[in-house]
Structures are given as structure tokens and as C-alpha cells.
């Protein structure tokens, strides 16, 4: 009987997220983007938003991105230097330590991606990532990982604007605070049941 009364608590613990869990999100930009279409909040359900980053797709006359890992669409920061002077990717839950992505760039780009502790490139600079040329156009795509120190809420893509194509950005979002609370609650219930069982 004691086991039956403990089952609902154990089931709740099993379904609660663990403290070490993080959800992996892959932004593959796989849709047919209209020319000049901004990505903005397309990935809002994943807690990710973009500023001044466009989705780009191939058509019959425009096949630059045919070698991309996700062939339908890619992303590129686009700035005009007058109104749009910076580009960002914001991750509401934050990213701990690293992001991975594919890129295509016809030239070396110093400071192509920067990680910041605050949204929209605010707070502490956590790391800067340079990209090296990997071809003469956008038909060669190289996987890479940008490692940094701390939890980043935003990535400044301004340095990569108008020159670097991005695809399959993979992030491990930090678990939400509720995940920690549920895990601690579950551990507390197990400890209480264990003490109660020992007394009886």
C-alpha cells in the first residue's frame, strides 16, 4: 500500500525536468523567403528573435545557397548603414557556453559574431568569434562552434552583415527557473517519503 501512495509522487518526479537538462533548438531557416523578408519573430516559439536578419531562398535564377545544409533557406544579417546599423539574435532563456552553426563567407570576417550577457548586445561581452573565408561565393558551408564564457542572451551579428550566410544554428537554451523548482520539489518529495518509510 505504501508503494501505491508513493507512485503519484514518483511519477511527478519522473516527468519533472532535471536540473542539468537544456533544450536543443536548431534554427534551419527552411522556408521559401520572399526577397527582403526579415526573420524577426519566426522562431519566437523557441524563445529566439532576430533584428535586421533576413531569410534568403534560392530560385531558378538565384542558386548561391545550393550547398547549404538546409537547402531551402539560409539567413544573413543585412544592414544599410543608415537606419539599420546593427543586427542581433536574442535568446530569451540564454545560451550557456557555446553555439554551433554552418556558415559561408567569401572573405575573412573579424568579430563576425559576439556573445553578450544582455539582450541586443548589452551587458558584458562574453566572447568574440572570427570567421575565415571558405570559398568565393555561398556554395561552400562549414560547420563551426563558437565557445564563450557565461550565459549569453544575445549574439551580435553586425560584423557578419552583408557578407556571411548562416544556416542550422544550434543552441542549447538554459533551462527555465521553473525547471529547477520542479526538480528540487521532486527531490524533496522523495527525501520525505524515504524518511517516512524508515520511521514505519
pLDDT digits (tens, 9 = 90+) for 80-113: 988 899 999 999 999 999 999 999 999 999 999 9
Structural domains counted in the chain: 2
* Count of beta carbons in the 10 Å neighbourhood of residue 68: 26
Distance (Å, rounded) from C-alpha 197 to C-alpha 83? 67
Q: What is the pLDDT of residue 142?
A: 96
Location of C-alpha cell 519573430: 41
Distance (Å, rounded) from C-alpha 78 to C-alpha 166? 12
Domain that holds residue 96: 22-174
Q: What is the pLDDT of residue 68?
A: 92
For the cut 80, the answer to whether the pLDDT of residue 37 exceeds it is yes
Quick one: 109 and 187 in the same domain?
A: no
Quick one: 99 and 121 in the same domain?
A: yes
Quick one: 26 and 11 in the same domain?
A: no
pLDDT band of residue 153 (cuts 50, 70, 90) is very high
Amino acid at each position: 500500500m505504501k508503494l501505491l501512495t508513493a507512485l503519484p509522487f514518483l511519477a511527478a518526479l519522473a516527468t519533472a525536468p532535471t536540473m542539468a537538462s537544456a533544450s536543443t533548438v536548431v534554427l534551419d531557416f527552411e522556408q521559401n523567403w520572399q526577397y527582403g523578408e526579415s526573420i524577426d519573430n519566426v522562431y519566437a516559439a523557441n524563445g529566439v528573435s532576430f533584428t535586421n536578419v533576413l531569410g534568403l531562398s534560392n530560385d531558378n535564377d538565384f542558386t548561391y545557397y545550393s550547398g547549404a545544409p538546409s537547402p531551402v533557406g539560409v539567413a544573413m544579417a543585412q544592414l544599410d548603414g543608415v537606419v539599420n546599423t546593427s543586427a542581433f539574435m536574442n535568446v530569451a532563456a540564454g545560451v550557456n557556453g557555446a553555439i554551433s552553426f554552418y556558415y559561408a563567407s567569401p572573405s575573412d570576417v573579424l568579430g563576425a559574431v559576439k556573445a553578450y550577457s544582455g539582450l541586443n548586445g548589452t551587458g558584458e561581452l562574453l566572447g568574440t568569434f572570427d570567421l575565415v573565408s571558405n570559398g568565393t561565393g555561398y556554395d561552400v558551408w562549414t560547420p563551426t562552434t563558437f565557445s564563450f564564457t557565461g550565459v549569453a542572451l544575445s549574439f551580435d551579428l553586425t560584423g557578419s552583415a552583408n557578407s556571411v550566410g548562416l544556416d542550422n544554428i544550434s543552441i542549447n537554451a538554459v533551462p527555465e527557473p521553473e525547471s529547477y523548482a520542479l526538480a528540487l520539489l521532486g527531490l524533496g518529495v522523495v527525501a520525505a517519503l524515504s524518511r517516512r518509510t524508515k520511521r514505519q
